[in-house]
Amino acid sequence: MGSTAHHDREGVGRRELIRRSAALGLVAVPGMSLLSACASSGGDGQSKAKAGKKTAKNPLGVNDTAKMEFVLFDGGFGKEYAQDAVKIYQKDFPKAQVKFSATQKIQSTLQPRFNEGNPPDLIDNSGAEQMDMGVLVGKNQLSDLTPLLDAPSYDDPSKKVRDTLRPGIVEMGQFDGNPVWIMYYAYTVYGVWYSQKALDSLDAEYPKTWDEMLQVCAKAKKKGMAGWTYAGKYPYYIPFSLYPMIGKVGGVEVLNAIDNLEPNAWKHPAVKACFEAYYELFKKGYILKGTPGLDHIQSQTAWAKGEALFIPNGSWVENESANVIPADFNLAVSAPSGIDSSDKMPFGTIWASGGEPFIVPSKAANPEGGMEQLRIMLSEASSKNFTSKVKSLSAYNGGTDGIELTPGLKSGVAALKLAGTNVVNPRLQDWYVQLQKEKIGVGALGEMMAGRLTPAEAIKKIQGFADEAAKDTTIKHYKHQ
């Protein structure tokens, strides 16, 4: 998780989640209640830096002598890209002291500081210990980033920052209507990842229907290769391909109903069809033996070694697994296979969304500085630097010209092109972190894929979890507008 929100990675790696956002990255530690992420607004807080004068070069009015503190999630994307952007901030504000640090323990490091009212000015809230965004928003602990979005972009003063971003980024940072609380910096393509070389060796093409998927898995099995593996210890990676498949089969409204915690949303025929399809992988012995006991790094390593053909993941996997992916692997990603020609959306329907959620706390001493650091990061130069260093797209809509794209990145760009407007963005992992990770992921999907629950039992269990969340007055509820 970097993100992620989602992303989706724990330890060395997005986004959420399970990178996560998040996304591009994000992961929760099983058994760790994310309600422990409840941010209470205590503490007297710290004194705010006096705002500086707004000028063409300083449109946010940063106090050029105020200290700026930036805490980054130290995950699959590393920290170099952020350190490079910090150097630009220091060049622009030579009198300011910048404190930069990176940690994998975002929640245990920063939650006490939120409670005391002295949080940093900018945080990449990602990884296994991501603080619950819904809780932070519900407790008014984040700054509205609209001033950043409405500021002139770093490269071109005639364009606002918001006009330089990829589709969906601004909306992802919203919870209820207008304020934008989160800036997702990475742009993650979720889907089914594989080695094009391995697929070619089976004399097979990527399967568009489920019958074709089962045929490809049967071919792989004959060659001593499993069809699939996944992060068995963190089964909330499974939705990276399962959710967009549900959207493809039943239409985006099925995913919206799930996000909205509507009664019986999980009982939709599209959900049933997709759960049964995935369960067939278990029943036919197409899942790598021992997968339920593997974490994300172990499953990715087995897959990179050619022990399994397909893995559901996010685009951070190329960087996170760079040390185990062979040079001639020819990494590729595809949108999920569908069921058949009766699917509501075309083949190519994919989940892509922001990852690496950056936030500026409402009690930050220098919120203008935190936003200015983000404005720098959303420039073309910083975006290109990010893409070339970490093999991921950024939220900046561009920044790939003149960069030699790695195989996975090139494949991700091609997948987005094929998808066109058929990009889905399930919000469960941003809105209801505990429900998505611990309950649906670990409590039901992981159990079903290990053969310990039937699809019908898993659906019943998940619907129960969703109904409980819908009735729970201690959590803030969100809906698609």
Residue pair 161/378 in contact by the 8 Å Cβ criterion: yes
pLDDT of residue 247: 98
Q: Which of 98, 140, 159, 72 shows the shortest CA–CA distance to 357?
A: 72
The three-class DSSP label of residue 439 is helix
- pLDDT of 460: 98
Lowest mean pLDDT among 38-47, 157-166, 385-394: 38-47
- Which pLDDT does position 7 carry in this prediction? 43
**Six-digit token string for 167:** 């589709």
Q: Does position 34 have pLDDT exceeding 80, yes or no?
A: no
Place of tokens 């939705």: 239
Q: Are 24 and 7 in contact (CB under 8 A)?
A: yes
pLDDT in tens, 313-323: 999 899 889 99
Residue 294 CA to residue 297 CA, distance in Å, equals 8
pLDDT digits (tens, 9 = 90+) for 357-409: 999 999 999 999 999 999 999 999 999 999 998 888 999 988 888 888 999 99
403: helix, coil or strand?
coil
Fold (topology level) of 5-188+353-405: D-Maltodextrin-Binding Protein; domain 2 (3.40.190)
Per residue in 140-153, pLDDT (tens digit) is 999 999 999 999 99
Determine the Cα–Cα distance for residues 200 and 456; give it in Å rounded to an integer: 36
Q: Distance between CA atoms of 52 and 60, rounded to whole angstroms?
A: 8
Coil, helix or strand at residue 109: helix
> Is pLDDT at 128 greater than 50 in this prediction?
yes
Can you spell out the DSSP letters for 296-315?
HHHHHHHHHTTSEEEEEEET
- Closest by CA to 13, choosing from 384, 324, 440, 435, is 324
Query: Rounded to two decimals, what is the model's pTM?
Result: 0.77
Quick one: pLDDT at residue 45? 66
Q: Number of C-alpha atoms within 13 angstroms, CB side, residue 379?
A: 20
Give the span between the Cα atoms of 42 and 57, in whole angstroms: 36
Mean pLDDT on 104-128:
94
Residue 65, helix vs strand vs coil = coil
**Residue-range domain boundaries for the chain:** 5-188+353-405
Orientation of helix 210-222 relative to helix 269-283, angle to 10°: 10
H or E element that contains 258: helix 252-259
- Apex CA 102: angle with CA 96 and CA 108, to 5°? 115
pLDDT over threshold 90, residue 91? yes
Mention every residue, 6+ apart, whose C-beta is less than 8 A from residue 433: 28, 34, 37, 130, 132, 133, 134
In this structure, the number of other CB atoms found within 10 A of the CB of residue 326 comes to 12
The residue-averaged pLDDT of 54-67 equals 96
Is the pLDDT at 26 greater than 70, yes or no?
no
The answer, yes or no, to whether residue 53 has pLDDT greater than 80, is: yes
**Please, are residues 438 and 447 in contact by the beta-carbon 8 Å criterion?**
no
